[in-house]
């Protein structure tokens, strides 16, 4: 952009750029000047809000997001969650762009957002809006998943050499040795039409094709703007044969196993142990004995 192409300030669009400077081993800071240059070249005046502690992105978005033409957040899924939470709490309907830079970016994968930060910035600068649903967990919000229990460790603890040689069978072999350590929880799930009750080692209420870095839900089932959750429950296995049935189903996307429940719903009430920890978009969330899940249809306008 040369001086002859500069527009008057009043004609520029205002961007709020929330950045977590420590996400992804501080990789976001390395690319920040180039990201700002991309947005400036596309007629944005950029105001940068760096986070310093947990909760900052929520407060920034709650207080200021309505005053901008677009909000862009740079960080991992946790930073994205904070930004969305702040926008909802502040009543903001400003469009949102996301540049992933964290160690876990399941949301970006599901939404087709590039893992290359500069490419993601270009897509935001020239992208089209689309609306996505947001989940509500009690008084908290999540962009793509709320989960409890086992499985999040599987894809990280299995040896890469074993994966290369045996494929998904490697997960089965690796997980069998940890079977005695599995905790189960007695829960009751009610969606207004069906009741599910039993002992479960894992559960997820999600709006994504990728769950906990381990499960991949069918793309023809998941629509992130259909006003519905996908709910996946894994029953407690009673034997090694049961365990193999679960893992085979998980890694082949065959959810017909009697130990796996997969259904869709718009609302859900869960009765669970109060001490049960939940993960909201990869960040820890505290549970209660009774939790209501609701979906906020098309609450966020995503630019990508």
Q: What is the mean pLDDT of each run of 10 residues along the chain (304 residues)?
A: 69 96 81 97 97 96 98 93 98 98 79 94 96 95 88 48 50 56 87 88 89 76 93 89 84 87 93 85 78 95 96
Residue 263: its pLDDT value, please?
92
Residues of 246-277 as b/e, b for ≥16 C-beta within 10 angstroms?
bbebbbeeebebebbbbbebeebebebeeebe
Whether the Cβ atoms of residue 227 and residue 266 lie closer than 8 Å to each other: yes
pTM over 0.95: no
Which residue is it, tokens 């990869």? 282
Q: What are phi and psi of 172, to 5 degrees?
A: -65, -45
Q: What are phi and psi of 60, to 5 degrees?
A: -55, -50
Residue 186: its pLDDT value, please?
94
To the nearest 10 degrees (0 to 180), the angle between helices 240-252 and 169-176 is 150
Residue 275: its pLDDT value, please?
80
Residue 156: its pLDDT value, please?
41
Three-class SS state of 170: helix
Pairing outcome for strands 210-211 and 260-265:
unpaired
Question: What are 136's two structure tokens?
Answer: 């509500």
Pairing outcome for strands 140-142 and 129-137:
antiparallel
DSSP annotation of 159 reads -
Whether the Cβ atoms of residue 225 and residue 188 lie closer than 8 Å to each other: no
Query: In 42-76, which ranges are continuous DSSP H helix?
Result: 56-64
Domains and CATH numbers, the chain: 3-127 (3.40.50.10330), 145-298 (2.60.200.40)
């Amino acid at each position: 952009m040369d001086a002859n192409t500069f527009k008057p300030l009043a004609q520029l669009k205002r961007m709020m750029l929330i950045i977590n400077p420590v996400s992804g081993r501080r990789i976001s800071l390395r690319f920040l000047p180039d990201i700002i240059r991309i947005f400036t070249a596309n007629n944005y005046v950029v105001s940068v809000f760096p986070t310093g502690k947990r909760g900052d992105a929520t407060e920034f978005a709650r207080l200021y997001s309505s005053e901008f033409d677009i909000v862009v957040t740079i960080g991992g899924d946790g930073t994205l969650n904070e930004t969305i939470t702040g926008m909802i709490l502040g009543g903001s309907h400003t469009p949102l762009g996301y540049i992933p830079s964290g160690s876990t970016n399941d949301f970006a994968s599901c939404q087709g957002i590039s893992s290359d930060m500069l490419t993601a910035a270009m897509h935001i600068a020239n992208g089209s809006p689309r609306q996505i649903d947001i989940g509500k967990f009690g008084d908290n919000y999540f962009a793509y998943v709320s989960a409890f229990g086992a499985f999040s460790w599987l894809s990280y603890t299995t040896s890469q050499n074993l994966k290369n040689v045996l494929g998904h069978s490697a997960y089965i072999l690796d997980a069998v040795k940890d079977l005695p350590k599995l905790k189960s929880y007695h829960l009751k799930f009610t969606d207004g039409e069906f009741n599910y009750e039993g002992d479960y080692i894992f559960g997820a209420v999600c709006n994504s094709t990728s769950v906990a870095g381990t499960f991949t839900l069918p793309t023809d089932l998941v629509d992130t703007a259909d006003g519905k959750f996908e709910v996946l429950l894994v029953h407690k296995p009673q034997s090694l044969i049961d365990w193999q049935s679960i893992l085979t189903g998980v890694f082949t996307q065959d959810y017909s196993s009697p130990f796996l429940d997969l259904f869709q719903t718009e609302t859900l009430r869960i009765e669970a142990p109060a001490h049960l920890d939940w993960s909201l978009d990869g960040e820890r969330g505290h549970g209660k004995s009774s939790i209501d899940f609701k979906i906020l249809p098309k609450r966020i306008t995503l630019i990508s």
